[in-house]
Amino acid sequence: MDRLLASVQFLKGIGPKRSKQLNRLGVETVFDLLWLIPRSYFNRGNLTRISGLKSANTVNIRAVVQAVQANRSRRGMQIFKALLNDGSGQVTAVWFNQPFLKNIITPGKELFISGRVNNSYGKIEINVSEYEIMDKSSLDCKILPVYPLTEGLNQNLLRSLMLSTLQGYLPFYPEILNEELRRQYELCDIYTAFRNIHFPSGREGYLQARKRLALEELLLFQISLCLEEKLPQDAANCKVHQEKNDLVIRVMNNLPFQLTDGQTKAINEIYHDMGSPSNMNRLLQGDVGSGKTVVAALAMAKAVASGFQAAIMAPTEILAEQHFNSINNLFKGTEIVTARLTGGTSTAERRMILEATERGEINIVVGTHALIQETVKFSDLGLVVIDEQHRFGVRQRAMLTEKGTMPDILVMTATPIPRTLALTVYGKLDLSIIDELPPGRKPVITRYIKQSARKQAYNFIHKEVRKQMQVYVVCPLVEESENQDLQAAVSLYEELRDNIFPDIKVGLLHGRMKSAEKGYIMNLFKKGIIQILVTTTVIEVGVDVPNASIMVIEHAERFGLSQLHQLRGRVGRGKQQAYCLLIGNPHTEEALKRLQVMESTCDGFKLAQEDLLIRGPGDFWGVRQHGLHQLKVADLTRDHKIIELSRQLVLRIKPIENLKNYVKLKFNKSDKIAPN
């Protein structure tokens, strides 16, 4: 392993200058270089003759440059053209916005190009996607890798460097799967995988290499999760929840509705874990409005009935307030004592809560980040619930669980994510899914409205408000920005209040308000005194006003699918038909597609899958915090079978501690690597 830590600066032919160029590609060590995966390939054995070119086909040709021309289009686009001849005919190859090519591609040079054939005004041309200048330094390989480049580097240099690195350093690479496992799951060894990902012997060789390296990444990621959040399974200290009274039954009787099948299934899974002699680590995910808070409350009821305390941590004061009110309603008529602890809690009240919690006089504490402060102590914490858990870091979650001796852990998210991604990001958590809404809920009708049709939206709002309905209007910003042409919440509030709806009570809510002011405004909205609430995304999660039936989202194209769905989930909680109006002016195909997908479905799980496909795993649902953006080969949108396999294999690779350095090389490069 030590040999793989060598700086690329000391590789033959590199030196300080080229080392800095490689650093710009994220390549600092030999290990990084081996994981510099080609972005595409040239297949020299699959050539098309110029005489056989057909429009709309993607082709590879090898030809000699006859003449070149560089000019600008009317719109200022720089166009470079080269007339190519391969002996069977001539064709013009076209590059866009690459003016430097006139100094590189000159008459007489032999090119290998890949691109799409177009019929431009009756003349066949090739729009080039990849090219290579053939010379004596070109490798004699049938299939050549095409690497990402930066200024000062070219393909021939990287290919030669990679070839020598594979020959000199690959033998030192660790093989973590023994021959028995490789044979059982039809996997090639790691050495064959690296050779065939860089210089494939053919299609089958490439596919085998890709499968093994995708598995290698996902397997290492699963191991990193085990190392990062590994909890000691000490049976003597694990909380075993055995009810000593009928509290759960009394809370059940307080429910204003019958549990859905999804809620019942989730509760049974949670209760089974809580009653077992090992720690519960469970992720509860469900769509907005699916009733996760009720499930969490019943879990807390079991913990308290078993003689323990429970705590629930939410990311915002508004959501903590919502949970506090909901829990008090569900525990109404019982002897259970609850408390709320947030940044807005007064000093005197905070002191009383802390003292009572430490003495065990408070059964359930609801709070924000304030719960993880050092001064917060519990008498016997048995259950930790973390809501919208992706808004908290790993360390923040751990700090709350450390308030007790091995408490059970239930983490919740209202952001549905595809099962493959859930299994990857939460490899160590068991998964419960509530995949249905309470009976009687009507799907929210969603419409994309162009900026030019805004007046129609306002007319519709007028009609609904006359029916005693209420409206959210959400904006991305609080103040005007010189760099962004977004409608700020403050200015829109003034426009709606003074000019559009002068006869309607309009309110304003944003994150920069003090806690007391936010609480006051939300209370006026809940009571129906404020009929239209202009707000920022502070109301994205947890706010529940059944009479609110319209969600208007300004500049909707600026939001991701997940956030749009969260915002939409604030309406449709009553019996009346609810609407979501997406006002925007999308300038990209991706932004328009998001709005169209929102119109097509209210299923959060379908939306999550679409979001993953549209944006990719790097941006979807904030997974960058987990290191998934460092995946070079694995594709979370299609490698579900490999993800499942990685979860199986992680249990069969022992001891995991010995792999710590390998995992750090792949996912935690900022940490110091200990010597082997």
Mean pLDDT of 178-205: 93
Mean pLDDT of 393-397: 64
Give pLDDT, residue 330.
93
Amino acid at site 353? I
Query: Which has the higher per-residue pLDDT, 126 or 650?
Result: 126
Q: How does DSSP assign 182-207, residue by residue?
A: HHHTT---HHHHHHHHHS-SSHHHHH
Q: What percent of the chain has pLDDT over 70?
A: 86
Mean pLDDT of 107-131: 87
Encode pLDDT of 345-377 as tens digits.
899 999 999 999 999 999 999 998 889 888 999
Examine the pLDDT at 615 and tell me if it is beyond 80. no
Mean pLDDT of 238-244: 90
Sign of the dihedral through C-alpha 336, 342, 348, 353: positive
Give pLDDT, residue 210.
95
Amino acid at site 34? L
Give pLDDT, residue 675.
38
Examine the pLDDT at 591 and tell me if it is beyond 50. yes
Encode pLDDT of 466-507 as tens digits.
988 999 999 876 544 434 444 578 888 999 999 999 999 999
Encode pLDDT of 289-312 as tens digits.
788 889 999 999 999 999 999 999
Is residue 589 classed as helix, strand or coil in its secondary structure? Answer: helix
- Give this prediction's pTM: 0.60
Give pLDDT, residue 383.
95
- CA distances (Å), origin 526, targets 13, 91, 515: 70, 70, 16
HSE-CB for 342 with a 13 A CA cutoff: 21
Query: Pairing state of beta strands 579-584 and 548-554?
Result: parallel
Q: What percent of the chain has pLDDT over 90?
A: 40
Encode pLDDT of 45-80 as tens digits.
778 999 988 888 888 898 999 999 998 887 778 899
Give pLDDT, residue 621.
41
Give pLDDT, residue 484.
44
In the chain, the domains with their CATH numbers are 45-140 (2.40.50.140), 174-228+639-676 (no CATH), 247-434 (3.40.50.300), 445-601 (3.40.50.300)
Examine the pLDDT at 655 and tell me if it is beyond 70. no
Both tokens of 68, joined, read 């070149």
- CA distances (Å), origin 149, targets 9, 22, 635: 17, 9, 22
Sign of the dihedral through C-alpha 146, 150, 154, 159: negative
